Structures are given as C-alpha cells and as structure tokens.
Amino acid sequence: MPILPIDSGRYGSTEMRKIFEENTRLKYQLQFETSVAAAQARIRMIPKRAAEEIDRIVISNLVNLKRIRELESISEHDTAALIEALSEQCSVKTRPWVHYGLTSSDVVDTTISMQLHDVFKIIESKILTLTDRLLHKAHEFDTQPAVGRTHGQHASIISFGLKFAVWASEMTKHLERIEEGKKRFLVCKTLGVVGTGSLMGNRALEVQRIVSLNLHLYPIDASTQVISRERFAEMQFIIALIGCTLDKIATEIRNLQRTEIGELAEPFRSGQMGSSAVPVKRNPIKSERVSSLARLLRPLVIVSMENIPLWHERDLTNSANERFTIPMAPILLDEMLNLMTKVISELRIDREKIAANIKITNGNIYAEFVLDELIKKGVPRFEAYRDIQRIAFSSTGLNFFDAIRHDPKLSKLLSEKELATIFNPRDHLAASSKIISNVSKMARQFRRNISINPIQSRFK
C-alpha cells in the first residue's frame, strides 16, 4: 500500500516516476554492469565471451527483483544481492568476471547519474515549453500598462507583459545552469574500492572512459569510494532554484488573483470546486500547490550538503537519506513544472481590471514622471520631491492631476498639455517591448545551442 503521495502517483508525471521505479533502477544497474564488462573485454582485461554472456543475460531480463530481495534478506546488502543474482545466471567460467574490479558504490553512484541524465531530458524539455508559454504572454501583453508594485504599494507603471518576460528570462538561465552543471554531476565512476582502480591497474581510466562514453556520462576525474557529494548537492541546488522561480511566479499569480486586485485568475474548469463551504470561490490552488512543494524542495539542499563531509574514503551516512532526496527532488519539480505550464497556458487575464487598478491612487502612480519633468525644468530634485509629496499627501480625495493643476507653484511649471502626457500610462512603458523582444531572442538562441531529445526514458 502506498504511503507517500509520490508512491500513489499523486505528484509527478508517469515518465518521471518511472525513472525511479525499482524495476527501472535495476535496468540502469544492469546496463552499467554490462557496459563495464564490454569495456573490459574491449581492452582484453576479461574474456570477450564473458562480456557477451553477461550482456545476453541482461538483455534477456533473467535477473529479477524477487530473487534479489531473497538474496538481500540473507546478505543485508542490496547491491551485493544484485551481483549475486546476476552471477547465478552466468556460467561457471563467466562468474569471476561479473562486477570485476568494481565496488558497490560504482554501481550506485553511476546509476544515480544515469537516472539524472534522463531526468534532465524531461526537465529541460518542460522548461522550454513553459518558457514558450511565458513569452507568448509577454508578447500578448507587451503594450498593456499595469501597476508596478514595490513593498506591496503602487510604485510606477509597468508593462504587464514584462512580468512574463522576467520569468521567461530566469527559466532560460536555469537551462544554462543545467547545461553547465551536467559535466559535474552526470558522472561515471568505475574506480573500485577507494577510487584508485586498484584491480584494473593502469588501464582503469581507459575502462572508465569507454563506459562513460557508452552511457552518455562524463568520467569522474578523481574520487574516493564514492563520487564526491558536492556534485549531487549542486544538482539538488539547481532543482531547488528552479523550484524557487516557480514559487515566485506562483506567489505573484496568487497575489494578483486576490479579490482586491483581480487582474488575473487561474484556470477553473467546469465542475471544479473552489471551496467546500463557499460555492462562489475560485481559489488559486495550483499556484498554492507549487508554493507548497517549493517549501519541500528547499530543505533537500541542506540534506545534500550534510552528505558532503563523509569519513575518510566514505561512510554510509549519505546512503539512506539519498534514497528519499534524489528521487523526490526531480519528481516534485516535474509536478511543479506541469502545474505552472497549465496555469500560464490557461491564465485568465482581465485587461479592464488592470487598467482600473492604475487609477486606484487617483493619479499618484505618476509621481515619478512628474518629478522627472520638474527636474528637467531645473527644479532641484529634493525641492521637487517635497512639493510633489506635499500635494499628494494633502489632496485627499482629489485627483493628483487636478491637485497639481490647482497648486500655485507647480501649475506655473507644468502646463495642462504636459500633465496630460505625463498622466497617460501608455507613454511610460519605456523599453518594455525591447526588453521582451531581447528575452525572446535570447531564448531562441539558447534553444538552437542545446540539443534536447524527446521526452523518453532509455527504458520502455
């Protein structure tokens, strides 16, 4: 019976969860074993017939989880049970060459890298899709003036589309981080008990190079018995960082969907219930779920950093928690990307409400531009600043435009025609369209520079 929501399929896509299922993990492990045997046979370290037999057994699916569990119940060592189950299927002449020169951590750590290789194919593809959706919204609303808020207060005019462009830019930066990080955390190790390649001697690095190439990984340059955990900590950090950006987007959507603001709303399908008690509510539950899962992602980085200082050439203090943290992070991020892509794709945006919110402060939102115009006319900055503040704070209920027009001092400096231009929101989008265009260009360029295969695991 499933215990965690991940186990029940509540979170994450089928293709992502499949990567971490036990049967799939076993296939990764066996692929590693046969790849090592093939590499060793290639340089005549072990007999060619032995490598071919190991490969036949792996392809034939003769090694199964049931037998591995039976053996593990005796040995209390899951990787040793795997090797024993594989050896049982081999002839007497081949058995000595199964897992030759390796240690269990070679299997475990390289398997993690193989899983992550497939994980990031999925994540990158979904980030690209989300980025496309964000850029579509950015262009759609690039000339839509809206309230820009700082400290929760109306500050100045912003292009509503610029919000989406900022998010798209950050998602592109995440793709850059992933591509740059792959050479550090998608690594292969075949160097045995303490990282010297002891039994394989001076040909150990050649074996590792061949295996790495075959598995589409990077050969580790130096290690102890285990791959240094700084590498997986970086992976966890990148995943958490992507999650934080999704949380940022979700938080903005939740705020803009507030009844008092009402500039946008999550998709709400027919038959959906927002509240069990209040039939008219449309709660931003998908964005709230993204924010909730982000709170779970961030602490996983701390756990991964705690795993870095191991005793000497290794201990097992990282092992148990990584059985949770390494599958959890990609599966949760996958869920968050799916949710946010759906939200952005079907987001309901109310142009009339956006325009109406600009007027809430009775024109005070144009104070930045009034200040700028006065400075250009030669008024010292802080003299102009205090005059604007005086008028704004004392003209309760009066439109800021009219308050300036009737002020004895500022009315002499600013004509009604100049004020009309200042108080036109469409005149204050500045470089917004150019910024949005630049982000689109950057995203297109990055897409051309990377090669992401269709979403699929290496195992059906």
Place of tokens 């097992």: 316
151 catalytic residue (yes or no): yes
Of 297, 298, 294, residue with least CA distance to 254: 294
CA–CA distance, 265 with 253 (Å, rounded to integer): 7
Q: Which helix (H) or strand (E) holds 304?
A: helix 285-306
Work out the average pLDDT over 56-81.
96
List phi, psi (to 5°) of 369: -80, -30
Is 58 buried (19+), middle (13-18) or exposed (0-12) by CB count in 10 A?
A: buried
Q: Which three-class secondary structure state does DSSP give residue 361?
A: coil
Angle of helix 204-215 relative to helix 22-42, nearest 10 degrees? Answer: 130
> 3-state class of 157 per DSSP?
strand
Neighbours of 452 (CB within 10 A): 17
**What does the pLDDT read at residue 455?**
40
Q: How far is CA 297 from CA 35, 239, 379, in A?
A: 33, 8, 52
Q: Under a CB-based contact definition with an 8 Å cutoff, are residues 327 and 109 in contact?
A: no
Supply 265's token pair: 């709303």
Beta bridge partners of 187: 218
Rounded Cα–Cα distance for residues 417 and 399 (Å): 16
Tokens of 161: 């589309």
Average pLDDT estimate for 422-435 = 96
Q: How confident is the model at residue 456 (pLDDT cuts 50, 70, 90)?
A: very low
- Given the residues 75, 91, 198, 275, select the one marked as catalytic: 275
With bands split at pLDDT 50, 70 and 90, how would you rate the model's confidence at 101? very high
Whether 459 shows a pLDDT value over 80: the answer reads: no
Cα separation of 397 and 399, whole Å?
7
Quote the CATH superfamily of domain 19-97: Fumarase/aspartase (N-terminal domain) (1.10.275.10)
231: helix, strand or coil: helix
Residue 78 has pLDDT above 90, yes or no: yes
Mean pLDDT of the chain: 94
Residue 447 has pLDDT above 60, yes or no: yes
Residue-wise pLDDT tens digits, 225-254: 999 999 999 999 999 999 999 999 999 999
Distance CA 316, CA 293 (A): 28
CA dist 177 to 184, 389, 401, 408, 446, Å?
Answer: 11, 45, 48, 57, 12
What average pLDDT does this structure show over 324-350? 97
Rounded to the nearest 10°, the torsion over CA 249, 255, 257, 260 is -160
Residue entry with tokens 């390649």:
197
Cα-trace Rg, the chain: 30
**Residue of 73, 151, 270, 276 marked active site:** 151
According to the model, what pLDDT value does residue 452 have?
Answer: 55
CATH number for the domain running over 364-422: 1.10.40.30
pLDDT for the residue numbered 63: 97
155 close to 148: Cβ distance less than 8 angstroms: yes
CA angle 189, 191, 194 (to 5 degrees): 115
Residue 416 pLDDT more than 90? yes
Query: Phi/psi of residue 375, each to 5°?
Result: -60, -40
pLDDT band at 222 (very low <50, low <70, confident <90, very high): very high
- Could you report how far apart the first and last alpha carbons of the chain are, in Å? 25
Those residues whose C-beta lies under 8 Å from the C-beta of residue 29, and which sit 6 or more positions away, are 79, 82, 107, 111
CA distance 66 to 85: 10
pLDDT above 70 (res 278): no
Sketch the domain layout of the chain as residue ranges. Answer: 19-97, 104-269+280-357+433-449, 364-422
> 112: pLDDT confidence band, cut at 50, 70 and 90?
very high
Tens digits of residue pLDDT in 379-411: 999 999 999 999 999 977 789 999 999 999 999
Cβ count within 10 A of residue 37: 29
The predicted pLDDT at position 8 comes to 84
Q: What is the 3-class SS of 100-155, one letter each residue?
A: CCCCHHHHHHHHHHHHHHHHHHHHHHHHHHHHHHHHHHHHHCCCCEEEEEECCEEE
Q: Which residues does 380 contact at the CB level (< 8 Å), separation at least 6?
A: none
Taking domain 104-269+280-357+433-449, whether its CATH number is 1.20.200.10 is answered by: yes
Question: pLDDT digits over 143-185, tens only?
Answer: 999 999 999 999 999 999 999 999 999 999 999 999 999 999 9
CA distances from 315 to 308, 309, 311, 394 (A): 11, 10, 6, 70
Tell me the average pLDDT across 33-48: 98
